[in-house]
Amino acid sequence: MSKIVSLCKRRGFVFQSSEIYGGLQSCYDYGPLGVELKRNVKDAWWRYMVHSRENVVGIDASILMHPRVWEASGHVAGFNDPLVDCKSCKGRFRQDKLSSDRCPDCGGELTEARQFNLMFKTHAGPVEDDAAIVYMRPETAQAMFVDFALVQGAGRLKIPFGIAQQGKSFRNEIVVEHFTFRSREFEQMEMEFFVEPGTDEEWYTYWCDERFDWYKDLGVAEERLRMRPHEQEELAHYAKACTDVEYQYPWGWDELEGIANRTDYDLKKHAEYSGKRLDYFDPQTNKRYVPYVIEPAAGVDRSALMFLIDAYCEEPAPEGKKEGRVVLRLDPRLAPTKVAVLPLVRKDGMPEIARDIVKQFWDNSINAFYDEKDAVGRRYRRQDEVGTPYCLTVDGQTKEDGTVTIRYRDSMKQDRIKIDEALEIVRKRLATGGQVSE
C-alpha cells in the first residue's frame, strides 16, 4: 500500500485534501490522472448497468433531502456504530471491530460503548434550529425509492426495471483506514432493481453473477476476487439476503461491492411515512403489489483503488539492463491517458507532427498526451507507470513515409503503422477492451 500511495501522489492520482494546512483526515483530492481514472470507472459502470439495458434508467438526485426520508429509512434512529475510547491513549475505536476488550494500540482499558450516529447533520436556511435540520445523505439509494413512482410513470416502465445513480455520500466514520478505501466523503454507484415478489431470488442470483463478471471483464485477476454470502446474523434488518464481492487487498480480503435483496422494506416505509402510494399495477395480470428490490451497490473510490492495486506490477530488470520498470496494467478502457505521442527529438518538425496527432485524438474524444521531455526510453517508463496502453513515436522516418512507431505497454512490442491508421487502430482496441499487445 505504501507504494500505491506514493505512486498516487507522485504521478497525480490522489492527494491529501488541504495538504498545505496539514491535511484533513480521510478526505482526498483526485489529481489530473486520478479524476480521469474515476471518470472511466463511472463510465464503464454506467455503460454496463444502464446503456446496455432496455430496462434500467438513471437519475441524479439531490444530496440534501427532506429529513423525513431519513426517519423513514431508519437512518436517524438506527444508523449507528458502537464507539469506545481508550482511557490511556485516548484512541477511538468501533467496538464491533475489536478482537478483545483492551485498546489495540496501547493495551489500555476501554470505556463503555456508546452509540454514535454516522450521519452528517447541517441546517438549511439562515436559522440554525431543529426545524431547519437536514442531513448529508449517507447513501444514494433512498432517492431511488422516493422517486420510484415518478420515474416509473414518466418512463412508462414495466416491472422488472431498475433505477441507477452515481453520486457523493457522506458518513462520519469512527474508523477511516487504508487510504481511500474507507473515508468520510465518497462516491457511490448504486442501482435499485424492482421485481415482482416471488421472482426476487432469481434476480438476486442474476445480479450477483453480473456484478462479479463486470470486474473480471475489466481485467481484475479472478484469483483475487470472490463472492461471500452474508451469514444470517450479519444481514441488515431489511435484507432477505446479501452477498459481497470481495477483493484480496494488501491487508486481506475485504468488501468491494454488496448485492442485497432488500425485499419491499424501503418502498413500504416511504409509503407509510409520506402517505403516498408506492406500489405497482400490472395491467396484464390485474395485480397490484409493492415490488421487491435487488440492489447492487459499489463505491467509485473503492473500485478505483482496487483497479490501481490490481494493475500495479514491478518487473525486474531484463538481462543486460540496470533497471526494471513499474507498470500499471490497467484495462485500456480505464487508463487515464489512452495514448501518449512522443517526438523522438525536439526539432526537424517532429513536435509539430506529434501535436497534430494529439489533436486528432482529442477531436475524437480520446484522451491523448504530448511529451517531449527527456530521452524517449524515460518517457516510455513514465507512461508505463501511469498505465498508458499505447505510445506513438514520431521519428525521422515519419516525414519520409507518414508512419510512426506504436509501442504496446504490456509487451513493450513496437510496430510501424501509418499516421492515418493510428486513430482507428487505437479506437478499435479501446472499443473492445482487448489486449494492449499483439
Task: Give CA–CA dist 385/4, Å, rounded.
Answer: 11
Q: What tens digit of pLDDT does each residue of 331-369 get?
A: 999 999 999 999 999 898 999 999 999 999 999 999 999
Same domain flag for 282 and 422: no
Do the domain assignments include residue 323?
no
Same domain flag for 167 and 300: yes
Angle at which helix 32-46 crosses helix 300-311, to 10 degrees, equals 110
Confidence of residue 437 (pLDDT cuts 50, 70, 90): very low
Q: In terms of residue numbers, what domain contains 346?
A: 329-432
Q: What tens digit of pLDDT does each residue of 203-243 get?
A: 999 999 999 999 999 999 999 999 999 999 888 888 999 99
Do the domain assignments include residue 370?
yes
Q: What tens digit of pLDDT does each residue of 361-378 get?
A: 999 999 999 999 999 999
* CATH code where residue 155 lies: 3.30.930.10
Same domain flag for 35 and 145: yes
| pTM for this predicted structure | 0.90
Same domain flag for 147 and 221: yes
Same domain flag for 256 and 354: no
State the total domains in the chain. 2
The β-bridge partners of 92 are 85
Same domain flag for 285 and 371: no
Same domain flag for 356 and 300: no
Same domain flag for 265 and 387: no
* CATH code where residue 426 lies: 3.40.50.800
When pLDDT is averaged across residues 32-58 and rounded to a whole number, the result is: 97
pLDDT for 168 equals 96
Residue scoring higher pLDDT (419 or 79): 419
Do the domain assignments include residue 55?
yes
Do the domain assignments include residue 321?
no
Cite the beta strand spans of 207-306 per DSSP E.
225-229, 241-249, 252-263, 280-282, 287-289, 292-299
